[in-house]
Amino acid sequence: MNIFRLAGDVSHLVAIIILLLKIWKTRSCAGISGKSQILFASVFVTRYLDLFTIFISLYNSSMKIIYISCSIATVYLVYFKFKATYDGNHDTFRVEFLVVPVGGLSFLVNHDFSPMEILWTFSIYLESVAILPQLFMISKTGEAETITTHYLFFLGLYRGLYLINWIWRYYFEGFFDLIAIVAGLVQTVLYCDFFYLYVTKVLKGKKLSLPA
């Protein structure tokens, strides 16, 4: 465990908590893509099935359980508790365009053709594109609440830190997982445009709004 990996996990956790708190405190999930949240919950559920098969560390298991519970809680808040505030009209990204190709790819390109491994690969590929419905929603409405942009920032930061973590592990441990690295790169690139807006607008105290 290096500092980049730990910082990555922490910012991932911060992102998840920010989103949960935002929805809970404002009693509203306006501007949040329920579809992205369902995708993230599916990512965690399919990836962390190994909770039942192997034990890596207390840290590893507890983080997995926290991620899964928080993501399912978020889906529950969006689709049940605060459903009335959910902006379904603007959450129109066609998720089948992500899930079907990602599903197909995970059957074709994986480390081992076994159910657990295919599900793990599926979750890695799916995570890399799971934010697209959320970004699509923001591009459609042309704006995002500042707290939502903080959520996206920490989610992107987590991916960026994981990339540094992989460079570190490659040099110091000879660790190299091409599937995770390529998917992680794709995922980080998707945040670049957003990062630019975050730095140029949100950090200067302006609301994130896109030119019409």
Partner 1 sequence: QLIVKQKDEL
Q: Which residues bind partner 1 (CB under 8 A)?
A: 5, 9, 12, 50, 54, 56-57, 60, 63-64, 67, 111, 120, 162, 165, 173-178, 180
State the Cα–Cα distance between residues 203 and 78, nearest whole angstrom: 27
Of 29 and 119, nearer to partner 1 (C-beta) is: 119
Q: To the nearest whole angstrom, how small is the minimum distance from the Cβ of residue 157 to partner 1?
A: 15
CA distances from 154 to 24, 121, 150 (A): 19, 23, 6
What SS3 string covers 75-103?
Answer: HHHHHHHCHHHCCHHHCCCCCHHHHHHHH
Of 1 and 21, nearer to partner 1 (C-beta) is: 1
Q: To the nearest whole angstrom, how small is the minimum distance from the Cβ of residue 174 to partner 1?
A: 5
Q: To the nearest whole angstrom, how small is the minimum distance from the Cβ of residue 54 to partner 1?
A: 8
Q: To the nearest whole angstrom, how small is the minimum distance from the Cβ of residue 130 to partner 1?
A: 15
Q: To the nearest whole angstrom, how small is the minimum distance from the Cβ of residue 150 to partner 1?
A: 21
Closest CA to 15 of 161, 208, 125: 161
Of 145 and 177, nearer to partner 1 (C-beta) is: 177
Q: To the nearest whole angstrom, how small is the minimum distance from the Cβ of residue 127 to partner 1?
A: 11
- Phi and psi at 143, nearest 5°, equal -155, 165
Of 67 and 136, nearer to partner 1 (C-beta) is: 67
Closest CA to 23 of 65, 68, 84: 84
Query: What single DSSP character describes residue 52?
Result: T
- The enclosing H or E element of 38 equals helix 34-47
Of 63 and 185, nearer to partner 1 (C-beta) is: 63
State the Cα–Cα distance between residues 81 and 138, nearest whole angstrom: 23
State the Cα–Cα distance between residues 156 and 12, nearest whole angstrom: 8
Of 20 and 181, nearer to partner 1 (C-beta) is: 181
